[in-house]
């Protein structure tokens, strides 16, 4: 798979992107990694910018495309937000490298605070978040966490959910980044009252063959579409495809399903490294 823009050209584009308050810019970085710029703030969701999964687990976990950005190009980001501790979402090498920044704060599930401290991130860089909690992040930016079901809910001894999704409020623009999850009725109920504009959901699905390989599943393209429809999201962004061929889905099936069933529903399918500007 080709990367649309990467390296210095992408870094330059991010720095040069100026936006009115009612707009935000999104860059897809692969899997569930997205950079959001709004006003002068930058927030990075689930960045997997290295080859750490392959280094840990070997074949078949090699990347299908290079990361559009290197961690060292993300030192100006205000917040890195991680949904759960799977290495393609909470990547030790990416976090350690961005942790060299004196600016960036890391928002992780409270269940994983001790782990990221073991990785060398310092207390003052870290913010833990729990299901049901909201964080005010300044300038009208707010983040709210919701439990996710990476097939199941999983909680630590203290009852902290290990899988989270996030509603991020950029002024009046409301974005939901699901993390890794399947669909479940409470999720729809929680999100219906949040009036989400942009819903970002995985489409890689799940099956017993992948379960037998230790791969935990997510919403498939039908479920992603149906959740977006039920919460009345304005725009649907499919994610979690294209990076690992053995845990993938063809995004054309998502487009086909959406086009046949909800032809008026807006979506955007990204190429890695592509910028998309959303204006409310």
Ligand X SMILES: Nc1ccn([C@@H]2O[C@H](COP(=O)(O)O)[C@@H](O)[C@H]2O)c(=O)n1
The residues binding ligand X (CB under 6 A) are: 53, 57, 86-89, 180, 213-216
Residue 150 CB, shortest distance to ligand X, in Å, is 7
Q: Which is nearer to ligand X, 125 or 178 (CB)?
A: 178
* Distances, alpha carbon 250 to alpha carbons 184, 210, 243, in Å: 23, 16, 11
Q: Which is nearer to ligand X, 9 or 64 (CB)?
A: 64
What are 267's two structure tokens?
């979506």
Residue 221 CB, shortest distance to ligand X, in Å, is 15
Angle at 92 between CA 145 and CA 277, to 5 degrees: 55
Q: Which is nearer to ligand X, 33 or 174 (CB)?
A: 33
Q: Which of 258, 267, 197, 262 lies closest to 236, judged by CA?
A: 267
Residue 263 CB, shortest distance to ligand X, in Å, is 30
Report which residue's Cβ sits closest to ligand X. 86
SS3 call for 261: helix
How far, rounded to the nearest angstrom, does the alpha carbon of residue 151 sit from its chain's CA centroid? 17
Q: Which is nearer to ligand X, 20 or 214 (CB)?
A: 214
CA distance 59 to 270: 26
Residue 179 CB, shortest distance to ligand X, in Å, is 9
């Amino acid at each position: 798979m080709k990367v649309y823009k990467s390296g210095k050209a992408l870094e330059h584009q991010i720095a040069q992107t100026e936006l009115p308050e009612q707009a935000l810019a999104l860059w897809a970085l692969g899997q569930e990694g997205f950079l959001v710029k709004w006003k002068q703030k930058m927030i990075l969701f689930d960045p997997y910018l290295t080859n750490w999964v392959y280094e840990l687990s070997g074949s078949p976990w090699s990347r299908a495309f290079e990361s559009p950005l290197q961690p060292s190009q993300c030192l100006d980001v205000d917040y890195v937000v991680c949904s759960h501790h799977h290495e393609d979402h909470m990547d030790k090498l990416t976090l350690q490298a961005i942790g060299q920044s004196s600016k960036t704060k890391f928002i992780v599930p409270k269940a994983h605070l001790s782990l990221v401290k073991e990785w060398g991130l310092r207390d003052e860089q870290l913010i833990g978040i729990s299901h049901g909690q909201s964080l005010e992040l300044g300038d009208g930016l707010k983040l709210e966490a919701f439990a996710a079901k990476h097939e199941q809910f999983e909680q630590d001894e203290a009852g902290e959910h290990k899988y989270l999704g996030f509603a991020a409020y950029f002024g009046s623009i409301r974005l939901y980044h699901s993390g890794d999850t399947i669909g479940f009725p409470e999720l729809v109920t929680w999100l219906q009252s949040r009036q989400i504009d942009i819903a970002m959901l995985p489409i890689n699905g799940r099956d017993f063959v992948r379960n037998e390989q230790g791969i935990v599943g997510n919403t498939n393209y039908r479920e992603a579409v149906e959740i977006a429809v039920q919460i009345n999201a304005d725009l649907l962004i499919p994610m979690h495809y294209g990076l690992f061929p053995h845990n993938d889905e063809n995004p054309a099936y998502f487009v086909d399903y959406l086009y046949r069933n909800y032809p008026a529903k807006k979506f955007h399918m990204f190429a890695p490294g592509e910028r998309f500007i959303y204006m409310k």
